[in-house]
Amino acid sequence: EVPEAVQAPLPVAELHLHIEGTLEPELIFALAERNGIQLPYADLDELRSRYEFTDLQSFLDLYYANMAVLRTEQDFADMTRAYLSRAALAGVRHAEIMLDPQAHLSRGVALETCVNGVASVLAVSEQEFGISTLLIAAFLRDLSEDSALEVLEKLLAMDAPIAGIGLDSAEVGNPPAKFERLFARAKDAGLHRIAHAGEEGPPSYIIDALEILDVERIDHGIRCMEDPELVERLVNELMPLTVCPLSNVRLRAVDTLNEHPLPAMLAAGLNVSVNSDDPAYFGGYVDDNFAQLRSVIGLSEFDCVRMAANSIRSSFASDERKAELL
């Protein structure tokens, strides 16, 4: 039998990935040094000791703090290149990458700096890494809709190479309805629309993301399992749910991988895929997520292949690119 380590990974599309969540501790220290930024950690081990989270907010606090090292276009480009290089080893052949522009604007980093830094690398990702890519501007739901609308208008005015918009950050207390005008504007501009829903928030947030925001995919969506009627609807609509198993464990949305609803979601016929979310923070990339699903909960090869196909079909890639990958 071939050892697991040398088996080629399944070709997948990564549909739920925050580029800022790919900043590995080593790169955080390297960028801090390059930019003359004093980090509040003495060394790598002290930084690594902070990666124990109790909920989404406890993670977001560290995630936003670590972004302080991203100052120049080159920083954003280096982060993006590091992700693509690692993702290629994980079997990722297409990636739809979220960027949080407001998290950089609020630190005095220009929109052009973060967008152009990431986009300059995405423009060559297929040639250099064999990974086709799309950029998604994600909006922070704990900020106002007016702030999001202002940033979206700027992105449109600068003709930023974005394929769609997303909605992330602190979910509970910031329901989809808060962003009705933002998503209407994005649809009017011909952009794809996705939103985090049902990670920590209730099933009603998933329903509202579908009905009020007219989203084409749900990020996470795991709490749909509390509402059988919603599950039936999601199955009938073939609605993609971008599930992030290791993220859910690390953020305590589920107690352990053994308690994860993914097998039940598959059994219900939901269109689920496996994604890494913030791989530098949650213990691994897409291949690590699949490896733990296989070894810890005994997920079958059939289900892994099915979810890999789901990821490609649920992407916003061209029909030609999908045909290449399927």
Question: Annotated binding residue at 278?
Answer: yes
- Our CB check for ligand ES4 shows the closer of 247 and 315 to be 247
* 271 belongs to the binding site for ligand ES4 (CB under 6 A): no
> Tokens representing 81?
């290149």
> Tokens representing 29?
């220290």
199 is catalytic: yes
56 binds, among Zn ion, ligand ES4, none (CB under 5 to 8 A by kind): ligand ES4
Asked if residues 110 and 73 have their Cβ atoms less than 8 Å apart, the reply is no
Question: Annotated binding residue at 277?
Answer: yes
- Our CB check for ligand ES4 shows the closer of 31 and 246 to be 246
Q: What are phi and psi of 241, to 5 degrees?
A: -115, 120
* 208 belongs to the binding site for ligand ES4 (CB under 6 A): no
Q: Strand, helix or coil at 162?
A: coil
CA angle 13, 16, 21 (to 5 degrees): 120
Between the alpha carbon of residue 326 and those of residues 10, 17, 322, the distances in Å are 11, 21, 6
Distance CA 166, CA 140 (A): 9
Q: How far is the CB of 21 from Zn ion (least distance, A)?
A: 7
Query: What would you report as the CA-atom Rg of the chain, rounded to the nearest whole angstrom?
Result: 19
> Tokens representing 217?
């995919």
| Spatial CB neighbours of 235, under 8 Å, sequence gap ≥ 6 | 268, 269, 270, 271
Which residue among the candidates 14, 20, 96, 199 is catalytic per the annotation? 199
Per-residue contact flags (x/-) with ligand ES4 for residues 7 to 26, judged by CB under 6 A: -----------x--x-----
> Tokens representing 84?
């693509």
- Our CB check for ligand ES4 shows the closer of 125 and 276 to be 276
Q: How far is the CB of 198 from ligand ES4 (least distance, A)?
A: 11
- Our CB check for ligand ES4 shows the closer of 145 and 324 to be 145
* 14 belongs to the binding site for Zn ion (CB under 5 A): no
Distance CA 240, CA 252 (A): 23
Residue from 277, 280, 284, 290 binding Zn ion (CB under 5 A): 277
Per-residue contact flags (x/-) with ligand ES4 for residues 125 to 164, judged by CB under 6 A: ----------------------------------------
Residue from 80, 242, 247, 310 binding ligand ES4 (CB under 6 A): 247
Asked if residues 67 and 104 have their Cβ atoms less than 8 Å apart, the reply is yes
* 287 belongs to the binding site for ligand ES4 (CB under 6 A): no
Number of residues that bind ligand ES4 (CB under 6 A): 11
Q: What are phi and psi of 271, to 5 degrees?
A: -85, 80
Distance CA 6, CA 244 (A): 24
Asked if residues 230 and 265 have their Cβ atoms less than 8 Å apart, the reply is no
Residue from 116, 169, 275, 311 binding ligand ES4 (CB under 6 A): 169
* 104 belongs to the binding site for ligand ES4 (CB under 6 A): no
Buried b (16+ CB within 10 A) or exposed e, 187-196: beeebbbbbb
Distance CA 53, CA 200 (A): 14
Contact set for ligand ES4, span 61-100 (CB under 6 A): 63
Question: Annotated binding residue at 16?
Answer: yes
* Residue with token string 């120049």: 72
* 250 belongs to the binding site for ligand ES4 (CB under 6 A): no
- Could you list the residues known to form a binding site, using ranges: 16, 18, 196, 277-278
Residues designated as active site: 199
Q: Which residues bind Zn ion (CB under 5 A)?
A: 277
Q: Which residues bind ligand ES4 (CB under 6 A)?
A: 18, 21, 56, 63, 168-169, 196, 199, 247, 277-278
- Could you list the residues known to form a binding site for substrate, using ranges: 278
- Could you list the residues known to form a binding site for Zn(2+), using ranges: 16, 18, 196, 277
